[in-house]
Structure 1
Amino acid sequence: MKTNLKALASLALVLALPSGYAQTASSGTTSSTPKSTHRKVHRAAKPEGPSVQSQIDSLRTDMQTQIQSLKQQLSDKDAQLQQAQQAAAAAQQAAQQAQAAAQQAQQGNTDNTTAVNSLQGAVTDLKSNNASIVQTVQDNQKQTQAAIEHPDALHYKGITLSPTGSFIEAATVYRNEALGADINTPFNSIPFNGADNANISEFFGTGRQSRLALLAEGKLTNNWTLRGYYEMDWLGAGVTSNNNESNSYVLRQRQLWAQAESNSGWIFTAGQMWSLATQTKTGMINRTEVLPATIDPQYNAGFVWERQYGARIVKSLDNKQVWLGLSIENPQTLTPSCQATGTGIACPYNYIIGAAGSGGGLYNGGGAPGATSSAPLATYSFNVAPDMIAKAVFEPKGLGHYEVFGIARFFRNRVYPNAPAPVAGVVTPVPQVGAYNDSTVGGGIGGSGFYTVKKLVDLNVNGLWGDGVGRYGSSTLPDLTLRPDGQLALLHGFSALGQVTFHATPRLDAYFNYGGDYAFRRYFAVPGGTEGYGSPAIRDSGCGIEVTPSNVPQVGYQPNAPAGCGSPTKDVQEITAGYWYDFYRGPMGRFRQSIQYSYFDRYGWSGTGGTPKGNDNVFETSFRYYLP
C-alpha cells in the first residue's frame, strides 16, 4: 500500500512540472521590466544542452516506465496477495479440516475412552455376574442338597407330598374325680358328687394322640389345583366307635378328603372333614380350622364342631373378603333322653329310631342285645336325610374374621301305637296295626368372630343356638326326648365358647378359655306323673350320697351312680388355662411343651330334694415333636 502511494505522489509531481515551467515562460514574455541599457556583450556561444521538452519527455518516459513498473509491481503484489489470500484460505480450510480431524480424533478418543470404560464396566459386570452365577450355582447346589437331604415336600409325578402337621406326643392327664378315660374327657360323664368314682382320682399317660398327616397337591391346569389330605391318630376304640360326633373309626380316620380349587374362587371338597359349622381362620379353607388351644382332644365345653363325612361347595367373592358355602354332612340322632316320674309311669317304648351296628355292614355291633348285654355300646339312627349347613364368612380388611351359619336337621322314628307293655327278659313280638313314621325338622343358627389385636392377642368367640343341635356341642348333650305317644320332641340347646390367646413371646403362647353346653328341659304331664327331659318332679334327694358299687359283671370295676338322683344334665361348663412353649422351632421341626389346668362344673336339672352337681379338676401335660 505504501508503494502505491509513493507512485501516485511521483506521478503528481511529474504532471505539475510542465505547468510550472509554462507559467515561468509566460511571465518572462509579458514582464514590464525595463530593458537593460548596458551594451550587448557578445560572448562565445556555448553548446546547447538538452531541451526542457526533451527532459520532460525523458522524465515522462521514465515516469511512465516507473508507473508501468509500479503497476506491474501492484499487479504482482495483487497476484501475490491473491495467492496469499488463497494460501490463507487454503490454510484456514486446512486448519478447519485439521480442527475437524482433531475434533474427530478427540471424539474418537472420547468414544474410545467411553468404549474402554464400557468395556471395563462390562468386564466388571461380567466378573460380578460370574461371581453372582457362581454364588447362584452354589446356592442352587445347597438348595438341591437341602431339598434332597431336608425336603419340605416330596415330589411324585408332578404332585407334592407333605407330612406337615404330623407330630409325636407324650401326654399325661390327672383328674381328681375319675372317669376311666384317656387324654380325651367325656364332659357329660363327669360324675355327680355322690358317685363312687367322684371320690377317687386317676392318672394316665398316653401317646395315642400322636398324629400322622399327609397332604398331596398338584396343578391340573393353570386354573385348577387338586388336593388330597389324610390325617389319623390312635384315639379310637373299636367297641365304641360311632357316628355321634367324630366319625373316627380305628385306625382313627380323623380326616380324609379330596378337593378341587379353581383360580376363580370355587372350591369343591368331599370326604371326612371338619364340619362346615366349625370355625375357620381364613375364608372357608380346609386345614385353617380354629381349634381351642387345649391338650384335650375333646377340646373345650362349648366348642361347636363335628368331624364327619361331608361334601361342600364354597365360593369366594369380593376379592376374598366374602365367602359363601353349602354342605351336606353325615347325620346322626343321639339316643333320646327321657325320664319318667310317678308310680307306674315309664317313658315310651313303642318306637324304633335305629339299631346297634351291623358287623356285616362294618358298623360297631358291640353289646348288641342278645350278645353279651342288653344295651348296645354304639347305636346308629335310621336317618331320613343328611344334615345341611349354609355359611357366610366376612373378612373386612384388617378387621378380623366373622361367620354366620345355619343348620337344618331331619329326625325320624317309627311309632307303634298299640305296642304292649314290655316285660323284663321276655320278647313278645305282637302284630301291629297302625304303625307310622314320625318325622320332625330341627336345626339352629350360629356364628363366630376372630380378631387379632396388634399381633399380640387373639380374641375368639363361637356359638350355636337351636332345636336338636346337641350333637354339635363338645359335651354331646341330647338332641331330643320323647312325647308320651312315642313321637320325637326336640330339645332347645346352645353352645358357646370364648377364647383369649396371648402371644407373650415368639415362643410362648398363653391361653384362657371359658365355655359351656346347655340343654333346656322339656317334659310332658301324664296321668300320675311326667315324661320327658328334666322334669322338676324327678327325685334328686340322694345325689350327694355314695352307694355300694355293683359287682356285676365284674367285682371291683363297677362304680355306681348315687341312688335317688335321676335328673339329666342341664349344662356343662369349663374354664381352661394353659400355655404352649416352643423349645425349638426351625428347619428340623418343632419341640413344644404344655401344661394345662381345667375346671369343670356339670349341673343337672333341679328336681325334688336337690340339684345334681359334679365338678372335676383336670391337669394335663404334653410334650410334642412336630415334623417340619
Structure 2
Amino acid sequence: MGRMLSALLIGSLLVCAPLRADDSNSGDAAAKTATPAKTETNNSGAAKPATDYREEIEELRQMMREQAQQMAEQQKQLELLRAQLAATHSSAASPAPSAETATVHVVNGDMGAVRSASGPSAAAAQDKPKSEDSPASIRYKGITITPGGFFAAETVYRTRAISADDNTPFTSTPFNGNSLSKVSEMNFGGRQSRVSALLEGNIGTAKIGGYFEADFQGAGTTSNNRQSNSYVFRQRQAFAQVALNSGWTFTGGQQWSLATETRKGILNRQEATPLVVDHQYNVGFTWARQYGFRVVKNFDDKFALAFSVEGPQTTIGGRGFTSYSNTSATGVVTAAQNFFLNAPGNSGGLYNAFDATGYTANKAPDFILKAALDPGWGHYELFGIVSEFRNRIYPCALNTPTAGTNAAGTAVTQYTAGAQVTCAQSAATSPNAAGAFNDSRTGGGAGASARVPFFAKKLELNSKFTAGSGIGRYGSAQLPDATARPDGTLALLKSAQWLSGAEIHPNPKLDLYAYFGQEYAGRAAYTGYTTVRITNTPFIPAVAATGQPFYPSVTNIAVTTTAGGYGSPFANNSLCSTETTPAATGTPGTGGACAGDIRAISEASIGFWHKFYNSPKGGLRWGVQYSYLTKSAWSGNNNTPANAGISPKAVNNMVFLSFRYYLP
C-alpha cells in the first residue's frame, strides 16, 4: 500500500498545475486540482521561467524518494517484528500468523501491560488503545512463567483459647481444668498470604517445569505479636516435573502427599482441599505436604495409576513408659529410659533444634499406591500406604535385695522389689546398653474416596475414609502413630479418619460448603511399666562431742509398677475438670491430673466464599467459616476398679473471617 500511494502521488505532481513556492516549502505533498492552473508571475508581472518549475519539481521528486526510502525502512522493521512474532507462536506450538493478520506486541516497560494492533503498520500498532486483558504468563528464554497467589487479611475467634493463629491445632482444645478453657481468644493476621510460580517449557514430546509455593506461617525465634508482628517465609511446595505426551508423569520434590484426594485424575495442583478458611483444613481430612517422588500413568483421562516414595516420620503418644533414675550420694542424677525413637534436630544440618517432638531416625520411606477413576460422572479413588517404624531398645535387669557393708563396717541391706522389665540379663539395675538392639514394625492403611456432581455441577457431594495402623499423622488432627509397650517396643495404634461434605455453587460468584469429619485413635493399654528410682545417701561419721551417732551410707531402690500405654483404663483422669493456679507468672494453669488420651475428635464446619470482583486485574473475595469441635478422651479410673472410669470432654466454637485479593 505504501508503494502504491507513493506512485500515485508522484503521478499527480507531474500532471497537475505547478505548486506555489510557499506550498512547496511547507512540505504539503497534496496537488491542487480544483481549477485550471493560471500562469504564475513574478513581482514585476513577467512570467516565471520554466527552469524554476523544473527545479521545484526535481526538489519534490528528491523529497519523495527520501520518503520512499524511509517507508521502506519502516517496512523492513515491520517484517522483522512479524518474523519474531511468528517464531514466538511457533515455539508455543501454534500456527504462525500471516503477514496481513500478524499481531505486534509492544510491552510497556513500567507496568508490563501489553498492547495489540493488527495490520502491516507498526505505527498503527502503537496507536491502538491498550487492551484490558493482559497475558497471564511471562515468556522467558523459551519457558512460560505463571505467577499466582493471594494476599489475605484473616481473623479467628474461639470460645476456648488455644493461643493459636487461624491454623488450628485441633487436639489443643483444652479440657475444663486448663485455665485457657475459661477465656476466649481473637487473633488477626496476614501471614496466610501466599505466593506461587509455575514454570513450564515444551521439549519435543514432553513438557518440563516446576512449581513453587510459599506463605508466611513459619515462626522464628524472635516472632511475636507485640509490635512488628513479623513472621517467617516458609516453603509449602517446591517440585520439578516431566510430563510425557504418552501419559507418563514424573514429579519430585515437596508436594501434597499422594494420599491427598484430587478433583480429577492424579494431577499436581488439583488437590481437593476443603474450602474452609482454617489453614489446618478440617478434622478428618487426610493429607500431608512432604518430600515425594511420584510416577503417574494416565490412560486417556479416564483412569490413572500412581506410585510414590515419600518422606516418613513417627509420632508417639501415651504415658507410663519404663524409666530409671539414680541419685548419687553427692546429688548427681542419672536418668534413662529403655528406648529411644526421635532425636532433636541438628541446627548444623538445617533441622529445627527447637522442635520438641524431634526427628525420627527413619528406616525406610513411606510407600503409597493410588488408582483414580474418572468415568464421566464423578471422581473416585483407592489408595494404600505402607510405613516402617523403628526404635532402639535397652533391656533392663531384675532388681533384687543385696547385702553389703558401709564405710564403718556395719552390714546394711539395700532394699529393692519388683522387676523393671522381664529381661534378667545381668545384675545391673539400669538399662543395659550392652544388650541394646533395634526393633522394627510395619504399619500402613488404605482409603477410598468419591466426589460426585449434581445439577450441572452446582452441587458436589464428597466423602473419604482412611483406616489402618500407624497412620495417625496423615490426619488433620495429628493423632499419634504409636505408643510404647513396657519392654520399650512400639505398639502401632489402630486409627481412622473420615470427612464428608457438600459444596454448592449457585452462581459463579458464590461458593457454599458444609463438612463433617472425625478422627479416631484406638486403645493400646498395658500393665507392668516400671519406674526404678535409686537414691544413695552419704555416710555421716559419729561426733562424740555432740553425741551424734554415725549414719551408714544406704542405697535405696524404689520400684513402682504402673499401667500405661495409650488410653489405659487405669489412667488418672480425676482432675481433668479441676482448674489449678498458674505454675509460673504469666502462664495459664494446666489443670490437675488428667491423662486425657484422645479417643475421638470431631468437627462440623459451614461457610461461604463471595467472589464479588473478578477481572484481568485480579479478583477480590471474602469468606466466613463457623466450626464446632468436640474432643473426647479414653476413660480412666485412676487404678481403682471400684470406680467408674472418667472420660473427659472438651468443645470449641470457632469463627473465621477472610478478605483476599487473588493475582489474575
Q: Given the two structures, how large is their TM-score scaled by the length of structure 1?
A: 0.70
**C-alpha deviation, 1:451, in angstroms:** 1.1
| Corresponding residue of 2:146 | 162
Q: Does 1:356 align with 2:354?
A: no
Could you report, residue by residue, the CA deviation over 1:342-388 in whole angstroms, capped at 9, with x for unpaired residues?
Answer: xx9xx99211112110111111112xxxxxxxxx5241010000000
| Corresponding residue of 1:330 | 311
**Partner residue of 1:613 out of 649, 653, 662:** 649
How far apart in 1 are the matches of 2:127 and 2:133?
Answer: 10
**Partner residue of 1:210 out of 179, 182, 193:** 193
Richer in helix (by share): 1
- The structure having more radius of gyration, on CA atoms, is 1
Q: Does 1:565 align with 2:565?
A: no
What does 1:271-286 align with in structure 2 at a 5 Å threshold? 271-286=253-268
Could you report, residue by residue, the CA deviation over 1:126-176 in whole angstroms, capped at 9, with x for unpaired residues?
Answer: xxxx9x959998468599986898321000011010113x10000001111
| Corresponding residue of 1:442 | 443
Q: Does 1:385 align with 2:364?
A: yes
**C-alpha deviation, 1:418, in angstroms:** 2.5
Aligned 8 A contact 2:101 2:118 in 1 = no
What does 1:110-509 align with in structure 2 at a 5 Å threshold? 138=117, 150-164=134-148, 166-221=149-204, 223-238=205-220, 250-317=232-299, 319-339=300-320, 349-366=337-354, 377-397=356-376, 399-418=377-396, 432-453=433-454, 454-509=456-511
Say if 1:348 and 1:186 are closer, same or farther in 2 by CA, change over 3 A: farther
Amino acid at match of 1:491: L
Could you report, residue by residue, the CA deviation over 1:73-132 in whole angstroms, capped at 9, with x for unpaired residues?
Answer: xxxxxxxxxxxxxxxxxxxxxxxxxxxxxxxxxxxxxxxxxxxxxxxxxxxxxxxxx9x9
How far apart in 1 are the matches of 2:306 and 2:586?
Answer: 52
Aligned 8 A contact 1:467 1:491 in 2 = yes
How far apart in 2 are the matches of 1:491 and 1:265?
Answer: 38
How far apart in 1 are the matches of 2:662 and 2:127?
Answer: 22
**C-alpha deviation, 1:314, in angstroms:** 0.3
**C-alpha deviation, 1:525, in angstroms:** 2.6
| Corresponding residue of 1:556 | 586
Amino acid at match of 1:556: G
Aligned 8 A contact 2:284 2:517 in 1 = yes
Amino acid at match of 1:627: L
How far apart in 1 are the matches of 2:457 and 2:292?
Answer: 33
**C-alpha deviation, 1:429, in angstroms:** 9.3
Aligned 8 A contact 2:153 2:658 in 1 = yes
Aligned 8 A contact 1:340 1:538 in 2 = no
Say if 1:348 and 1:294 are closer, same or farther in 2 by CA, change over 3 A: farther
Aligned 8 A contact 2:154 2:658 in 1 = yes
| Corresponding residue of 2:563 | 530
Identity of aligned residues (%): 44
Amino acid at match of 1:615: V
Aligned 8 A contact 2:337 2:431 in 1 = no
How far apart in 2 are the matches of 1:287 and 1:482?
Answer: 38
Say if 1:146 and 1:236 are closer, same or farther in 2 by CA, change over 3 A: farther
Aligned 8 A contact 1:358 1:365 in 2 = yes
Gaps of 5+ in 2: 1-97, 105-115, 120-124, 224-230, 326-334, 400-428, 530-560, 638-644
SS at structure 2 position matched to 1:169: strand
Say if 1:145 and 1:524 are closer, same or farther in 2 by CA, change over 3 A: farther
**C-alpha deviation, 1:571, in angstroms:** 1.3
Say if 1:239 and 1:483 are closer, same or farther in 2 by CA, change over 3 A: farther
How far apart in 1 are the matches of 2:652 and 2:208?
Answer: 46
Say if 1:430 and 1:456 are closer, same or farther in 2 by CA, change over 3 A: closer
SS at structure 2 position matched to 1:163: strand
SS at structure 1 position matched to 2:217: coil
How far apart in 2 are the matches of 1:232 and 1:335?
Answer: 29
| Corresponding residue of 2:575 | 542
**C-alpha deviation, 1:564, in angstroms:** 2.4
How far apart in 2 are the matches of 1:147 and 1:570?
Answer: 59
Amino acid at match of 2:475: G
How far apart in 2 are the matches of 1:145 and 1:226?
Answer: 36
Could you report, residue by residue, the CA deviation over 1:225-247 in whole angstroms, capped at 9, with x for unpaired residues?
Answer: 01110000000124699xxxxxx
SS at structure 2 position matched to 1:234: strand
Amino acid at match of 2:345: G
Aligned 8 A contact 2:564 2:571 in 1 = no
Say if 1:157 and 1:614 are closer, same or farther in 2 by CA, change over 3 A: same
Could you report, residue by residue, the CA deviation over 1:381-437 in whole angstroms, capped at 9, with x for unpaired residues?
Answer: 10000000000001111x21000000000000000002899xxxxxx9976221100
Q: May I ask how many residue pairs the two structures share in their alignment?
A: 466
Say if 1:531 and 1:583 are closer, same or farther in 2 by CA, change over 3 A: same
How far apart in 1 are the matches of 2:198 and 2:130?
Answer: 20
**Partner residue of 1:592 out of 618, 621, 636:** 621
Amino acid at match of 2:602: Q
Which segment is superposed worse, 355-364 or 149-158?
Answer: 149-158
Say if 1:619 and 1:350 are closer, same or farther in 2 by CA, change over 3 A: same
Aligned 8 A contact 1:160 1:218 in 2 = yes
Richer in strand (by share): 2
How far apart in 2 are the matches of 1:270 and 1:489?
Answer: 32
| Corresponding residue of 2:87 | none
Amino acid at match of 1:444: G
Say if 1:143 and 1:413 are closer, same or farther in 2 by CA, change over 3 A: farther
SS at structure 2 position matched to 1:504: strand
Aligned 8 A contact 1:240 1:378 in 2 = no
CA-based RMSD = 3.0
Say if 1:134 and 1:211 are closer, same or farther in 2 by CA, change over 3 A: closer
**C-alpha deviation, 1:509, in angstroms:** 0.9
**C-alpha deviation, 1:498, in angstroms:** 0.6
**C-alpha deviation, 1:538, in angstroms:** 1.1
Which segment is superposed worse, 501-510 or 280-289?
Answer: 501-510
Aligned 8 A contact 2:618 2:663 in 1 = yes
Say if 1:149 and 1:283 are closer, same or farther in 2 by CA, change over 3 A: closer
How far apart in 1 are the matches of 2:495 and 2:489?
Answer: 19
Which segment is superposed worse, 376-385 or 252-261?
Answer: 376-385
**C-alpha deviation, 1:567, in angstroms:** 2.6
How far apart in 2 are the matches of 1:610 and 1:232?
Answer: 44
Could you report, residue by residue, the CA deviation over 1:290-342 in whole angstroms, capped at 9, with x for unpaired residues?
Answer: 0000111100000000001100100012x22110000000100013433479x
Amino acid at match of 1:410: E
How far apart in 2 are the matches of 1:143 and 1:588?
Answer: 22
SS at structure 1 position matched to 2:507: coil
Amino acid at match of 1:365: A
Amino acid at match of 1:388: F
Say if 1:224 and 1:429 are closer, same or farther in 2 by CA, change over 3 A: farther
Could you report, residue by residue, the CA deviation over 1:524-573 in whole angstroms, capped at 9, with x for unpaired residues?
Answer: 1328542210011112221211111111xxx112x232212213111110
Could you report, residue by residue, the CA deviation over 1:217-269 in whole angstroms, capped at 9, with x for unpaired residues?
Answer: 01011x1001110000000124699xxxxxxx953100000000011100000
**C-alpha deviation, 1:206, in angstroms:** 0.4
